[in-house]
Amino acid sequence: MLKIIQIPVLTDNYIYLLHDTISGETAAVDPAVAEPVLQVLKQRGWQLTYIFNTHHHGDHVGGNLELKQHTGCQIIGANADKHRIPAIDKTVEEGDVVKLGTHTAQVIATTGHTSGHIVYYFADNNALFCGDTLFVMGCGRLFEGSAEQLWQSLQKLKALPAETRVYCAHEYSEANARFALSVEPDNVALQQKMLFVQQQRAENLPTVPSTISDELATNPFLREDSPAIRATINAIANTSVEVFAKLRRLKDSF
């Protein structure tokens, strides 16, 4: 069994600790900082075996060096980002797999937010660790890639099984829901999701993980073919990529 511990850090980041109960191996996904990870490891009596980085931004790799110094863990990240991920030991790319004890994750390249972004998909646990590519009702900003690249990346994630749990790296759901409602106000699933998000955040509880099925129903960046969204943003005759690009621009200035 894969145990997943969600650690909120900084203002809105999530670090994930993944623990294989059979082998005892443990991985940290995108450790922004080290101390909270070390505390949880100590509390649970776990030893850190790996760090899985999705991309090179500081709020995803900031804890790499200290965690490696304390635990001797192996750091895994994208080959395209090997010059930008601190203390990286092993590089991976699209189609590779990484093992955590008895569990296996597929590496999927998701260019767009950054040029070397990857995600980790554990099919046997219905779990996707997607960094800043896909958020609850949102997607990453285009820092290094094009709208078409990020759209293509999201098509890969849309195709995952509906029950796949989406473990993104930030708690952006409330702001994302406000934008989503601005472009698709009559979406009942979206209205209900907003109520859930507001209730969770009022109690300082996470809204993550979501699921692929939830995102297909509520996330405008996965719903660029929606006639309602197209009508709202005056893009009825545009291609899917053009609608996606317009949505991303609108969100950037929302």
Is residue 57 annotated as part of the catalytic site, yes or no? yes
Is residue 186 annotated as part of the catalytic site, yes or no? no
**Nearest-angstrom CA–CA distance, 26 and 40:** 11
**Nearest-angstrom CA–CA distance, 27 and 25:** 7
Active-site entry in 20, 30, 56, 57: 57
Active-site entry in 19, 56, 103, 113: 113
SS3 content of the chain, % helix, strand, coil (to 5): 35, 25, 40
Active-site entry in 59, 81, 117, 214: 59
DSSP H or E segment with residue 185: none
Active-site entry in 19, 56, 103, 170: 170
Active-site entry in 19, 20, 30, 55: 55
Active-site entry in 30, 81, 132, 214: 132
What is the bridge-based pairing of β-strands 26-29 and 50-52? parallel
Residue ranges in 64-127 assigned as alpha helix (H): 64-71
Structure tokens given for 101: 């004890």
What is the bridge-based pairing of β-strands 103-109 and 134-135? unpaired
Other C-beta atoms lying within 10 Å of the C-beta of residue 22: 10
The residue assigned the tokens 């850090």 is 9
Is residue 60 annotated as part of the catalytic site, yes or no? yes
Active-site entry in 19, 60, 103, 117: 60
- CA–CA distances in Å: residue 64 to residues 19, 53, 58, 108, 193: 18, 9, 10, 21, 34
* SS3 category, 107: strand
Is residue 56 annotated as part of the catalytic site, yes or no? no
Is residue 103 annotated as part of the catalytic site, yes or no? no
Is residue 170 annotated as part of the catalytic site, yes or no? yes
State the catalytic residues.
55, 57, 59-60, 113, 132, 170
